[in-house]
Amino acid sequence: MMMKKIFAAAALSLLASSAFATPPGYYGGLDLGSTKLDGMDGSKTSFGGFLGYGFNRFVAVELGYRQLGKGNFDGADITVKQTHFSVIGSYPLAPQFDVYGRLGYNDLRANASYAGTSASASDSGGLYGIGLNYDFTPAVSGRVEVQKPSSDSTNYNVGVVFKF
């Protein structure tokens, strides 16, 4: 009986130490959220994907693509999409729980159609955000984030991250 307890304690410590370690490496994920676009009515459900590389537990780079939303502005149907590159800085609050900040550059593209005519426009600029990340396992984590792609838009999202 004593050997079983010792074995169980050793197994739990090994499992716990590996679950709390975040090794450097590649990761990818998907997110779903909502975007507030000033002056635009309609569904602003956002969805996207991202790929990144973590240099260590504290610093990563990330490339992502997201549809920020679809809506109506002065009678025109508009779709807004985002491509971004960011540097992410993380700070552990607990072994499996981090707060992180994002600073980067993004390209926003809007496609509009009105009465059979279509047009597009783009804008590039800075991007910032803040979020929380929780490691469920060494390979899977979840995160929530507030991101500011432009001065007139804010994105709130939840995502799942898979480490390779």
Q: What is the pLDDT of residues 6-15, one digit of tens each?
A: 444 444 443 3
Residue pLDDT, tens place only, 86-105: 999 999 999 999 999 999 99
The tens digit of pLDDT for each residue in 58-90 reads: 999 999 999 998 888 788 888 999 999 999 999
For 22-70, what is each residue's pLDDT tens digit? 568 999 999 999 998 887 776 689 999 999 999 998 999 999 999 998 8
128: pLDDT strictly greater than 80: yes
- pLDDT at position 125 over 90: yes
The residue among 52, 50, 113, 53 whose CA lies nearest residue 82 is 50
Identify which has the larger pLDDT, 8 or 133. Answer: 133
Distance (Å, whole) CA 57 – CA 121:
38
**Residue linked to tokens 């079983």:** 4
DSSP string, 4-36: HHHHHHHHHHHHHHHHH---SEEEEEEEEEEEE
> What phi and psi, each to the nearest 5 degrees, are found at residue 19?
-70, -30
Q: How confident is the model over 117-132, as a mean pLDDT?
A: 94
Chain centroid offset of residue 17 CA:
26
More confident residue, 103 or 115: 103
Question: Which DSSP string do the residues of 138-157 spell out, in sequence order?
Answer: SSEEEEEEEEEEETTEEEEE
pLDDT, tens digit (0-9, with 9 covering 90-100), for 138-164: 999 999 999 999 998 899 999 999 999
Dihedral sign, CA of 135, 140, 144, 150?
A: positive
Tokens of residue 104, six digits: 């980067």
Burial class of residue 75, CB neighbours in 10 A (0-12, 13-18, 19+): exposed
Q: What is the pLDDT of residue 1?
A: 54
